[in-house]
Amino acid sequence: MGLSLNSISLRNKSSKIKMKLIKTGCLLLSFALFASAKDEKSNLVFGNQVSESGIKHSFLICGNRTVLLNENSEIIWQTEGYGRDGFVLPNGHILVSVGNVAKEITREGEIVWSYKLSKGNKELGTCVRLQNGNTLVVERGVRPQLLEVSKTGSIAITVPLKPETTNAHMQTRMARKLANGNYVVPHLLAFAVKEYKSDGTVVRTVKTDLTELGGRKERNWPFTAIHLSDGNLLVNLTNGNKTVEFDHDGKVVWRVDNSHVNGRLADPCGGQRLKNGNTVICSYGQKKGDMPKIFEVTKDKKVVWEYFNPGIRAHEVHVISTNGKPEGLIK
C-alpha cells in the first residue's frame, strides 16, 4: 500500500487535532455570534443575577418565557410559546421545543427548520441537535418514542420507549444521546433512567427509588439524564427535590437536597454541569419571592450564583458563557 505504520499513526493524530480545532472554532463562533447579536428593541433587563464572587452568566431559559439573556440579564432574543427544551447552536440560531413543535429559529425570528408532533401523540419534549446533523426529539402519548429527525424533516431513527405508564405527561422528560450511539431517557413513574439501543432494547437501568434517597414515597421522578464526561449521570429528581449524580452502575456518588441549599430546590427540572464542575439547577416550582428560579451550586454544595425573576418558571436552562468565557454548545 506504500504506507508505514508510523505514517498511518501520524495521519490519525493529525485528523484528531483537526477535529479538535474545528470543534473549538465552532464554539468560539457561537459565542461571538451570541455576544454580537444584540437586539436593541429587546434591550430589557429581565430578572437579576446575584453572586458574592461576581459570577455572571449568559443563558437560555425555556419555560413560560423562552428568552436568551446576556451577562447583564438583558433580553437579546425571545420567542412566543412555552418552551420545554432548548440550545443555542454553533451558527447562533436557537433550537427550541415550543408548543409541541421543535424549531430552529434565527436571531431575527425566522424559522429555518421544524418538526411537528406526530398525529396521535400528545406531547413533544426533548429537542437536541446531534453531531450527525439530526435532531433528537421525544414524543409522549399512545406511541412513546424517541426520534432522530433529519435536516430535511424525514425520520432517520425511531426508538420505541418503555415508560411503564400510559399517563402521557409522565412518560419521559429530557433524553440525550451517548457517544456509543445509545440513548439515555428518564422515565418519571418508572423511577428510572433507561439506556436504549436504537432498536429499543434496554441495556441499562439506573433506579431513582433507592432506599438511601427515600424510596418511592419521596416521588423521586427523574427529569434530566445529563451524561457527564466521566460517564456518570446527573439527574434532577423533580418532586423529590434532589439533584443526584449516579455512576455507571447506578450508585449515588453525589447529591444535593434542600438540607444543603436552604430550601432552594422546588421541583427541579432542567440543569447543567459547568466546566468548573459546578451544577446549575432550575427550580421550576419555586413560588417564594425570596428564592431563586435558577441557581448554581459547587461540588461542596455551596450556592455561588442565583437568578431571581418572579415572572419566570424555568423548565430548562442552557448556560452559554460565564464572565465572558464560553461554557459549551451541548450538555
Exposure letters 5-26 (e unless 16+ CB within 10 A, then b): eeeeeeeeeeeeeeeeeeeeee
pLDDT at 275 over 50: yes
- Domain-embedded: residue 133: yes
- Assess if residue 309 is contained within a domain: yes
Residue 97 maps to a domain: yes
Mean pLDDT over residues 31-41, rounded? 42
Query: What is the per-residue pLDDT for 329?
Result: 57
Give domain status of residue 269, yes or no.
Answer: yes
* Residue 199 domain-assigned (yes or no): yes
The whole-chain average pLDDT of the chain stands at: 90
Q: Does residue 23 form part of some domain?
A: yes
Indicate whether 331 belongs to any domain. Answer: no
Query: In the predicted model, is pLDDT for residue 195 greater than 80?
Result: yes
| Portion of the chain with pLDDT greater than 70, in percent | 86
Residue 69: count of CB within 10 angstroms of its CB: 24
Domain count, the chain: 1
SS3 (DSSP) at 289:
coil
By the 8 A CB rule, do 271 and 284 touch? Answer: no
Judge whether residue 1 has pLDDT over 60.
no
**Which one has a higher pLDDT value, 330 or 240?**
240
Alpha-carbon distance 104 to 153, whole Å? 12
* CATH number, position 209: 2.130.10.10
Q: Return the C-alpha cell found at 260.
A: 444543603
pLDDT given at position 43: 74
pLDDT (tens digit, 9 = 90+) per residue, 98-135? 999 999 999 999 999 999 999 999 999 999 999 999 99
Indicate if the pLDDT at residue 271 is higher than 90: yes
Decide: 60 and 323 in contact? Cβ < 8 Å.
Answer: no
Count other Cβ atoms within 10 Å, centred on residue 99. 14
Q: Does 268 fall in a domain?
A: yes
The x, y and z cell numbers of residue 134, run together, are 439530526
Cell numbers representing residue 203 in the block: 441495556
Q: Is the pLDDT of residue 312 over 60?
A: yes
Backbone angles phi, psi at 83, to 5 degrees: -90, 140
- How far, in Å, CA of 132 to CA of 116, rounded? 20
Domain that holds residue 127: 5-326
